[in-house]
Chain A
Amino acid sequence: MSTKQIIGVFDDESVLLKATQKLKENGVNIKGIFGPSADHDLIKKLTKESRLPYLSVATGVITIILTFAFVYYVSVIDYPLHYGGKPVFAFPPMVVILFLVCILITGAFTTFSFLTSEKMFPGKSAKVVHPRSLDDRFYLVLDRNFNPEEIIQWLQDSGVEEIIEEENEA
């Protein structure tokens, strides 16, 4: 396995999109694409399906069950109090509490899960491949691949502007 990191520099999004498609079809491991703007076609092609929504739903369901148990314990078992002529166990007023607690816990938990999985924290400095990736060029970073010569050939065929090869940090 090559320890070299191959970086292709592109100045046209459509060329980059075609190159990415070619590399993906051939099973090349793409580490990331860095550029000045977000391209939805590229994002769709590159990203794996996120499991974050499933985590959200699971958290929401668990939160609702736990909150229900808590409210039930408080208002029915531990401190049953009649007010307003209502039964001790009444579902309608609970809905508001369940709804709010569910949103609060799920929102916070999902946010922190996302930050943890992306290894982001406040004060972290951003990694920039090259200063021009913030300006007008797209950087396609390929990492740990078996066939660097073939990849360079493919990149050159696709109309890449420049190819940079550098040693891996690790």
Chain B
Amino acid sequence: MDTSFKPSKKLLAILAAMIAIGVVALIAGFATDSARTWPNILLNNMYFITISIGALMFYGIQYITGSSWSALFQRIPLAAGAFLPAGFILMLLLYFGLHDIYEWSHPGITETDKLIAHKAPFLNVPFFMIRMVIYFALWIPLFIMMRKMAKKEDLEGGEQWYIKSAFYSKVFIFAAVLIFSLAAIDWIMTIDAHWYSTIFGFRAMITSMYYGTAIIILLVFYLKNLGFLKELNEAHRHDLARYLFRFSIVFGYLWFMQFLILWYANIPELTVYYSPRFLGEWQFFFYAEPLINFAIPFIVVMADNTGKKKPVMIGISALLMVGLWVSLFLQIMPGSYGVLKLGFIEIGIWIGYAGLYLLMVFTALSRIRVVPVNHPMLQESIHHHL
């Protein structure tokens, strides 16, 4: 059976280099244009929190449904959520940049802007920070408990750890689905404080599960390449591909639903959000978003056989990582910075965050067995076939 994963020195050097690029980009950003850098920090925080929460939701769903097929690689979604504590600290740092991102945080705006004055009991800086702390105070302890149960299961064995994991998964799913919707509304939707969309939170939650699955696929194939997860067979890969395929449909549906209703209703308060994106300089990203996130995965993974092919799934998952960035870029930038600028700052900060995320994931993975040896459904999962 596989022992635990140890990141090689070469990998650690690459990750350190990525983080260094990110730090350089951050310094360059603050030296030149801090109004451009703060929204980028929010974007990347949201990016990796989305992935982490999505992967943990995948983990929770397996316990809630009593799924056996995924038991073999169950530690990977668990490790993929390890970014949450770092995400918490990075989100707290956002306190110093609120003025560069959120219009409602400007002092004195409530006197001139009636709508923001009306929303002020909810949209004010202290309450915003308190809500942020509450969200993480629910996620992080649950995540720690889930990890603890998994570790105890590896060391001691026995069914009770499975039952306890299932309990914490249930609480986590509830907290994640509800709170992540609220968090997305809080952190992203309030950038355009005059605009609202009732589907926004739900869409963010589905998006999170979609990209969580994509990162799980990437990590599973990476570990398989290193020689772990030897029992991973065609049926597992096929099931992961189908998971991704279904989420691509839901994503496309919600994306179009949000757009169509606002486009058709043609109410000025609502179209104000889409007019710079649909008609202005953000047009390229507007059309790229559904193409990358919906059309290409949908058409490619639709055929039954492509889901079993490793290069195809790696390509699609990597493409989706770009797609999430485009999606968040389009949601955050027009309302906060306002000008379309894509350069070293944007890409460098993303690379730095990716390095940090992978470092945390691999560290978490090295502290736990890759294959859950005492999982009650492990044998069933190893012999999973269609």
Binding site for B on A (CB under 8 A): 40-41, 44, 53, 57, 84-86, 92-93, 95-96
Contact = CB atoms under 8 A, between A and B. Distances in A.
A93 B385 contact: no
Given A40-B385, A40-B386, A53-B304, A92 B266 contact: no
Contacts of A44: 386
A92 B259 contact: yes
Interface residues of B, number: 11
B256 interface: yes
A154 B386 CA distance: 28
Given A40-B385, A40-B386, A92 B304 contact: no
Contacts of B17: none
Contacts of B304: 53
B146 to A, nearest CB: 33
Nearest to A44: B386
A87 B260 CA distance: 15
Interface in B254-271: 256, 259-260, 263-264, 266
B385 A84 contact: no
Contact of B264 (A40, A53, A84): A84
B256 A95 contact: yes
Given A40-B386, A53-B304, A84 B266 contact: yes
B34 to A, nearest CB: 38
Nearest to B253: A99
A93 B260 contact: yes
A85 B265 CA distance: 10
A44 to B, nearest CB: 8
A143 to B, nearest CB: 28
Contact of B260 (A53, A57, A92): A92
Contacts of B303: 53
Interface string B297-332: 000001110000000000000000000000000000
Given A44-B386, A92-B264, 15 more contacts: A40-B386, A41-B385, A53-B303, A53-B304, A84-B266, A85-B266, A86-B264, A86-B266, A92-B256, A92-B260, A93-B260, A93-B264, A95-B256, A95-B260, A96-B260
15 contacts: A40-B385, A40-B386, A44-B386, A53-B303, A53-B304, A84-B264, A86-B266, A92-B256, A92-B260, A92-B263, A92-B264, A93-B260, A93-B264, A95-B260, A96-B260
Contacts of B266: 84-86
A96 B264 CA distance: 12
B119 to A, nearest CB: 29
Contacts of B386: 40, 44
Contacts of B260: 92-93, 95-96
Contacts of B302: 57
Interface in B271-305: 302-304
A40 B235 CA distance: 12
B46 to A, nearest CB: 27
Contacts of A92: 256, 259-260, 263-264
Nearest to B385: A40
Contacts of A57: 302
Contacts of A85: 266
Contacts of B264: 84, 86, 92-93
B48 to A, nearest CB: 33
A163 to B, nearest CB: 30
Nearest to A53: B304
B70 to A, nearest CB: 19
Contacts of A53: 303-304
Report the 3 A-B pairs with minimum CB-CB distance, sorted nearest first.
A92-B260, A92-B263, A40-B386
Nearest to B305: A49
A53 to B, nearest CB: 7
Contacts of A86: 264, 266
Contacts of A40: 385-386
A84 B265 CA distance: 8
Nearest to B386: A40
Nearest to B235: A40
A40 B234 CA distance: 14
B239 to A, nearest CB: 14
A92 to B, nearest CB: 5
B233 to A, nearest CB: 13
